[in-house]
């Protein structure tokens, strides 16, 4: 999915899979951005979860829920439309029973997350998440939401506030608006910002949140990172790309940095986040990292000791998805 102003567009990657008896045949077509648009005032976050895709429009606070398999079809219709009541920078997570976990707020403030059934009835609610931003899913199905005074975890029935007072900043400030979950782990990786007054905070530590006992652990890396620096490995490892160009591999249970892999050239975070900077993604045992300085794509084998593969690019990527 690609946002374009007041609409969501679908990018067709050209991968075609056709079942044929007991096996499948694979084909490739020319990738293209499809013209069929889904109208959404100030199109925002897209979340795929439990076979559904939620498209949240910040301009009216409405989440449209589609079956993921219907995305890209010209006649696709939402299976549910969730109206949160006011425009805000929000997010919604669809669940397999048809219910939805969604933020609720206004353009001025947001601190509420609700679990709604298909009819819109509130099943559970928390108002303890100021500045709520971002989401991630753990292997046990729990959902994580970042806040500005410690995150919130939804266990499928109830919301739990995570105590981060041990390492929060002034007035209990601890923002974890960017996160990464894994089907292989019940621990969520998140950033760790603790300076409430900073114009540009460049933290050198991350947070690991346990969605089983609702505890949090700070991991010091010694170098800073940015919001595109977080991913998860094939065994649930926490992956962080730091400004020294290294990929930090963290054991999510112990919080130990088990490996630092040379990935790209050293870099600095741009003051304008929309400008090209390094991107980290991980899938199928590999980490994919862009080097904006050298215009390279670097592929790292996380399960073996293969030499990094480096590919020259004729452009500086700003976004990346791995399929």
Report pLDDT for 80.
Answer: 96
Q: What confidence score (pLDDT) does residue 210 get?
A: 98
How many domains does the chain fold into?
1
Query: Is there a domain that residue 323 lies in?
Result: no
Residue range 119-134: mean pLDDT, rounded = 96
Percent of the chain with pLDDT over 70: 100
276 inside domain: no
Say which residue the tokens 């990094």 belong to: 308
94 located within any domain:
yes
| 217: pLDDT strictly greater than 90 | yes
Q: Is residue 290 part of a domain?
A: no
Does any domain span residue 241? no
pLDDT computed for residue 75 by the predictor: 87
Determine the pLDDT at residue 123.
Answer: 98
Show the domain range for 119.
2-227
- CATH number, domain of 77, equals 2.130.10.10
**What pLDDT score was predicted for residue 254?**
97
More confident residue, 271 or 115: 115
The per-residue pLDDT for 35 is 86
Q: Which residues contact 213 (CB under 8 A, 6 or more apart)?
A: none
Instruction: Provide the pLDDT for residue 306.
Output: 86
In a domain, 277, yes or no: no
Tokens read off for 316: 């500086």
For 293, the token pair is: 């300085």
Question: Which candidate, 92, 86, 136, 126, places its Cα nearest to that of 109?
Answer: 86
196 within domain boundaries: yes
* Residues comprising the chain, all counted: 323
d(CA 122, CA 167): 33
Q: Is the pLDDT of residue 18 over 90?
A: yes
Identify the residue with better confidence: 231 or 72.
231
pLDDT band at 238 (very low <50, low <70, confident <90, very high): very high
Confidence tier at 129 by pLDDT (50, 70, 90)? very high
- Mean of the per-residue pLDDT values of the chain: 96
Specify if 254 maps to a domain.
Answer: no
Where does the pLDDT of residue 305 fall: very low under 50, low under 70, confident under 90, or very high at 90 and above? confident
Q: CA 117, CA 252: separation in Å to the nearest integer? A: 33
Quick one: pLDDT band at residue 40, thresholds 50, 70, 90? very high
Is 44's pLDDT higher than 90?
A: yes
With bands split at pLDDT 50, 70 and 90, how would you rate the model's confidence at 290? very high
Q: Can you give the pLDDT at residue 72?
A: 84
């Amino acid at each position: 999915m690609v946002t374009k102003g007041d609409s969501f567009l679908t990018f067709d990657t050209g991968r075609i899979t056709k079942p044929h008896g007991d096996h499948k045949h694979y084909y490739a077509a020319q990738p293209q951005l499809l013209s069929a648009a889904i109208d959404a005032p100030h199109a925002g976050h897209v979340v795929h979860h439990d076979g559904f895709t939620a498209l949240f429009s910040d301009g009216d606070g409405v989440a449209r829920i589609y079956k993921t398999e219907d995305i890209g079809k010209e006649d696709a219709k939402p299976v549910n439309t969730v109206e949160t009541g006011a425009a805000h920078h929000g997010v919604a997570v669809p669940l397999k029973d048809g219910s939805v976990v969604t933020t609720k707020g206004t353009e001025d403030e947001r601190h509420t997350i609700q679990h709604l059934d298909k009819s819109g009835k509130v099943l559970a609610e928390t108002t303890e998440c100021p500045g709520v931003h971002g989401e991630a899913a753990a292997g046990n199905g729990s959902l994580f939401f970042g806040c500005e005074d410690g995150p919130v975890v939804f266990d499928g029935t109830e919301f739990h506030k995570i105590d981060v007072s041990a390492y929060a900043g002034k007035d209990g400030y601890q923002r974890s608006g960017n996160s990464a979950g894994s089907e292989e782990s019940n621990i969520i990786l998140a950033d760790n910002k603790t300076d409430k007054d900073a114009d540009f905070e460049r933290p050198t530590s991350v947070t690991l949140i346990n969605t089983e006992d609702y505890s949090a652990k700070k991991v010091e890396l010694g170098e800073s990172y940015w919001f595109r620096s977080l991913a998860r490995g094939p065994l649930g490892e926490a992956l962080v790309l730091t400004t020294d160009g290294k990929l930090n591999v963290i054991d999510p249970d112990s919080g130990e940095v088990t490996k630092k892999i040379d990935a790209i050239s050293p870099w600095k975070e741009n003051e304008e986040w929309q400008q090209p900077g390094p991107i980290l993604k991980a899938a199928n045992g590999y980490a994919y990292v862009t080097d904006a300085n050298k215009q390279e794509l670097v592929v790292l084998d996380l399960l073996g000791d293969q030499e990094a593969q480096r590919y020259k690019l004729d452009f500086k990527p700003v976004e990346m998805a791995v399929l």
